[in-house]
Structure 1
Amino acid sequence: MGLFGPSEQEIETAVNAALDKRASIENPSVPLSSQNVLSFLGLDATSSAGERVTIESALGVPAIWAAVNFLSGTLASLPLHLYKRGKSGRERDTSALGVILHDAANDETSSFAWRKYIFDQVFTGGRGVTFIERSAGKKVINLWPLNPDCLTIKRIDGRKVYQYKDGKRTVTYEASEVIDIPFMLKRDMLSHYSPILSNREAIGLAQAVTKYGAKFFEGGGVPPFAIEGPFQSPGGMQRAADDMDTAVRKASKEKRLALSLPAGHKIHQLGVDPEKSQLVELQRFIIEQVARIYSLPPIFLQDLTRGTYSNTEQQDLHLVKHTLRRWLTQFEQELNLKLFGRASARQYVEANVDGLLRGDFKTRMEGYARAIQTAQMTPDEARDMENRPAKGGEADMLHIQGATVPLGSQPIRGIGDNGGPPLNDEGNNSNAA
């Protein structure tokens, strides 16, 4: 038991112990479910809505599924480049490590699949972990994603270590060998919060609403009701209830609008129908709650209820500035620290978000033209951003607006000239005969 409660490894050990006891002939009375174990530890994941919240059940909520896949897929799809600092500025590093980061993390996993898996774990269980395999010469040769459920993080002699259970053996890694991306750390800076389990009340409500809607339409769209009538016995009352249930389902299947009741019987609605309970509004509220959990604008959860052309564009910028930037900074700094160490300043890793900010074709062209005419970008640099081949020559030089000529070769005007033709070396009009 840790200072702030049991760790995930301790929970898993307790659950496995309960399962082992259940399978034992000497103690067959122990329930197979781990519900009792979690309750004993004070970590019952049942919400106030009566729903048991797990990562698998939460992913059954469309808004959660959309948020996790959108964020992890977007972060994994961004180009991840290795750069080196030179005298003329930064340059792309095409060494083996650059290929590992950009193309293939190892012989089995592409760079996209590796990053997608890592961020899937971050946005569900709350942590994504990768082991850095190095050669005898300390060069990085592979990146191996690890299953966070098999990991125990602790401090030994004040240093953080990662103990990974790989089948029957347990391997201990130093902190410098592991790329660790937590969603949010607890006060001990070892254990972490899961965005799903930490928000079990909101997600439990989402699960309940999803199930209620499915059951409502499964019953033909008819809310629960009670039958009132001259029943002679409990058996007759039960048969009447069964007959009405069968009749409702048959009418729904055959698309009939009328039901017949015996004389003297009445139907009374139980509970509240979906319209009065504002089921549609509640589902929209759930989308907003999920958007808050993951700091996502609602439009990225396919909710355009309040979307307009202008605010949708602003929410697109909000995504990059306030959501993706935070995760990319954490990811880049963790990679730079673990791959190169604290003292290295020559190489660094950076994700390219230019593609997310490119906009439509007309806007891109206007932006490139302005950057070229103000000597901020060469034509070849603009062509490279559009994946077009370089032209070289003057296209690889900075230009300034005017005649849009190479910087330094624009016409020189005389002092006091009011915009007339340029003067020659003798001070005469260069255009004069």
Structure 2
Amino acid sequence: MSIIGRIFARPVQPVRVEPSVAAPVACADGPSGTSQPRGWISEGGWGAQSRVKTLPRVSATLAQRHATVFSCCNVIAGDLAKIPLKLYQRREDGQEDRLRDHPAAYLLNVESAPGIPAIVSRYALAYTFALRGNAFAYAPRDGGGELELLDVLNPDAVSVLKSGRERFYDIEDGAGVLRRSPSRTILHLRYMALDGWTGRSPLEVAAESIGLALAGQESAARTVSGTSIRAYINMEDTYEDDEAYRRNARRVRAAIEDPEANGLPLLGMNDKIQRLDLSAAEQELLAARRFDREQIASVYRVPPTKLQILEYGVKANAEQAAIDYLTDCLLHWGKQLEDQYALSLLTQREREGGMFFRHDFDTLLRPTTKERYEAMAKAVGGPFISPNEARVKEGWQPKPGGDDLYPPPNMTRSENQTKDEQDAE
């Protein structure tokens, strides 16, 4: 084929591999799900609109351009992705056993799909979940019912269909194959779903606050760049007709908005510009932007100190700030991910058998070597744990005779002592 033929040739469409699922009613306007993807509209800039029409529309794609929005999502997704997500099974006596050989444990901690590390997939899912309120992954099973892979999906390429209480997803998997999959093969993470199915972005719920932050950022950019001047213009009134007047008005506007003018437009002899912009000091621009950062952080429950807003915390209380971040923020987001992972990646029989996921948050609160050794010494001599249990926690090999608990210093009884000898002591 010639070069021109290749340019104008129609692209080859991927072939659907499954037959279409016939739904009795595909309600496009219902409260639960849509029959067409809304991402390309809402995320492309046509998101939630404030009642103040002059504020910019808020969408996830536009909002993440604000550094604080990106920082909040990045902090939450990064911390939840870098810690182990362990699979446990609770026995009837209340004891919990960690399961290491389950396919879900491997997919979430080692390799989620061929050539894709689990940390990449978990970060993408958590980031999209925090930013958009919806995140998707394709999780098919083999003939024996075992999970094969966890393939993260582009949320813009996912359509949610419904038929009564059943949900179906039109997706394009990582291999470029179009599929219509039932909900049992799709991991659908959803945030603030009023109906249980349709997730909502926290950015669109707080549209006015986020819109103010985006407008303030645009105002700051205009003030710093100096390439745009808000003003009114007095133009000379010596034109032959209205077309000449409008032509000169367009010329003046183009001169003002010219990025190469550096804020110094070239005007006519009798044209005058009266500035309406306020200076950065008059706008209290820095204070306003700091307030925007605090509001966005509160939307995501992220402590200001995690965003390097250090006027609220010093080194002396850094440990307490880390604990507050864990209890107020990460547990809120992490628990939702744990339960939704379990619902999609574990079978009903496995969940009824006591299997569940839990993030290992202890890795975020790891103490210093001195603090760790002092705690181990008190625990071993308590008695609380055996010496070998302490060695295993540190990654060392157990020692012979190290499985016995040390008695407290004031209790040195021996198993060979008689009751009279013990009473004599």
Give the TM bin, normalised by the shorter chain: 0.7 to 0.9
> Counterpart of 1:204?
211
Per-residue deviation, 1:180 = 2.4
Counterparts of 2:290 and 2:192 in 1: how far apart (Å)?
27
Q: Name the aligned partner's letter for residue 78 of structure 1.
A: I
Q: Name the aligned partner's letter for residue 313 of structure 1.
A: E
Q: Report whether the alignment pairs 1:124 with 2:121.
A: no
2:276 aligned to 250, 260, 270, which one? 270
Q: Report whether the alignment pairs 1:83 with 2:91.
A: no
Q: Report whether the alignment pairs 1:316 with 2:322.
A: yes
Per-residue deviation, 1:286 = 0.7
2:171, 2:180 within 8 Å by CA — same for their partners in 1? yes
Post-superposition Cα deviations, 1:70-94, rounded to whole Å, max 9, x if no partner, equal 1011111111223356799544433
Counterparts of 1:214 and 1:192 in 2: how far apart (Å)?
33
2:37, 2:159 within 8 Å by CA — same for their partners in 1? no
Post-superposition Cα deviations, 1:374-393, rounded to whole Å, max 9, x if no partner, equal 2333333333333x312233
Post-superposition Cα deviations, 1:354-397, rounded to whole Å, max 9, x if no partner, equal 111223333333333333232333333333333x3122334333
Q: Name the aligned partner's letter for residue 281 of structure 2.
A: E
Per-residue deviation, 1:105 = 1.2
TM-score by length of 1: 0.72
Counterparts of 1:356 and 1:71 in 2: how far apart (Å)?
12
Counterparts of 2:396 and 2:373 in 1: how far apart (Å)?
17
Post-superposition Cα deviations, 1:32-61, rounded to whole Å, max 9, x if no partner, equal x988xx69xxx6579645323322221110
User: Residues 409 and 232 from structure 1, CA distance in 2 versus in 1: closer, same or farther, beyond 3 angstroms?
Assistant: farther
1:103, 1:110 within 8 Å by CA — same for their partners in 2? yes
> Counterpart of 2:141?
134
Counterparts of 1:316 and 1:366 in 2: how far apart (Å)?
21
> Counterpart of 2:16?
none
User: Residues 74 and 49 from structure 1, CA distance in 2 versus in 1: closer, same or farther, beyond 3 angstroms?
Assistant: farther
> Counterpart of 2:117?
110
Per-residue deviation, 1:266 = 10
Counterparts of 1:225 and 1:340 in 2: how far apart (Å)?
62
How many correspondences in the alignment?
A: 381
Q: Report whether the alignment pairs 1:144 with 2:160.
A: no
2:345 aligned to 339, 343, 346, which one? 339
Post-superposition Cα deviations, 1:118-175, rounded to whole Å, max 9, x if no partner, equal 111101111122232222111222222223333333442x4332322326744121x3
1:384 aligned to 375, 389, 392, which one? 392
> Counterpart of 2:359?
351
User: Residues 328 and 400 from structure 1, CA distance in 2 versus in 1: closer, same or farther, beyond 3 angstroms?
Assistant: farther
Counterparts of 1:131 and 1:307 in 2: how far apart (Å)?
42
Counterparts of 1:83 and 1:391 in 2: how far apart (Å)?
24
> Counterpart of 2:181?
172
Counterparts of 2:378 and 2:89 in 1: how far apart (Å)?
29
1:279 aligned to 255, 280, 285, which one? 285
Question: Once the two structures are aligned, what percentage of the paired residues are identical?
Answer: 22
Q: Report whether the alignment pairs 1:374 with 2:382.
A: yes
Q: Name the aligned partner's letter for residue 328 of structure 1.
A: G
Counterparts of 2:313 and 2:202 in 1: how far apart (Å)?
26
User: Residues 205 and 89 from structure 1, CA distance in 2 versus in 1: closer, same or farther, beyond 3 angstroms?
Assistant: same
**Structure 1 residue matching 2:55: 3-state secondary structure:** coil
Counterparts of 2:39 and 2:365 in 1: how far apart (Å)?
47
Q: Name the aligned partner's letter for residue 368 of structure 2.
A: D
**Structure 2 residue matching 1:141: 3-state secondary structure:** coil
Structure 1 residues 315-324 or 87-96, which shifts more? Answer: 87-96
Give the gaps of 5 or more residues in structure 1: 17-32, 252-263, 416-423
Counterparts of 1:82 and 1:11 in 2: how far apart (Å)?
33
> Counterpart of 1:25?
none
Counterparts of 2:263 and 2:288 in 1: how far apart (Å)?
30
**Structure 1 residue matching 2:363: 3-state secondary structure:** helix
Post-superposition Cα deviations, 1:334-373, rounded to whole Å, max 9, x if no partner, equal 3333333333326443221111122333333333333323
Counterparts of 2:339 and 2:136 in 1: how far apart (Å)?
15
Counterparts of 2:140 and 2:259 in 1: how far apart (Å)?
63
Q: Which has the larger radius of gyration?
A: 1
Please report the RMSD computed on the Cα atoms of aligned residues, expressed in angstroms: 4.5
Give the gaps of 5 or more residues in structure 2: 1-26, 240-244, 265-269
2:373 aligned to 353, 361, 365, which one? 365
Q: Name the aligned partner's letter for residue 143 of structure 1.
A: L
Q: Name the aligned partner's letter for residue 111 of structure 2.
A: A
TM-score by length of 2: 0.73
2:189 aligned to 177, 181, 184, which one? 181
1:380, 1:396 within 8 Å by CA — same for their partners in 2? yes
Counterparts of 1:14 and 1:84 in 2: how far apart (Å)?
41
Counterparts of 1:321 and 1:194 in 2: how far apart (Å)?
22
2:32, 2:197 within 8 Å by CA — same for their partners in 1? no
Q: Name the aligned partner's letter for residue 373 of structure 2.
A: M
Larger RCO (CA under 8 A, 6+ residues apart): 2
User: Residues 270 and 103 from structure 1, CA distance in 2 versus in 1: closer, same or farther, beyond 3 angstroms?
Assistant: same
**Structure 2 residue matching 1:145: 3-state secondary structure:** strand
Counterparts of 1:316 and 1:165 in 2: how far apart (Å)?
39
1:76, 1:115 within 8 Å by CA — same for their partners in 2? yes
Per-residue deviation, 1:206 = 1.6
Structure 1 residues 205-214 or 268-277, which shifts more? Answer: 268-277
User: Residues 279 and 404 from structure 1, CA distance in 2 versus in 1: closer, same or farther, beyond 3 angstroms?
Assistant: farther
> Counterpart of 2:65?
60
2:197 aligned to 179, 187, 190, which one? 190
2:392, 2:398 within 8 Å by CA — same for their partners in 1? no
Counterparts of 1:328 and 1:322 in 2: how far apart (Å)?
11
Counterparts of 1:287 and 1:14 in 2: how far apart (Å)?
27
Q: Name the aligned partner's letter for residue 320 of structure 2.
A: Q
Q: Name the aligned partner's letter for residue 217 of structure 1.
A: V
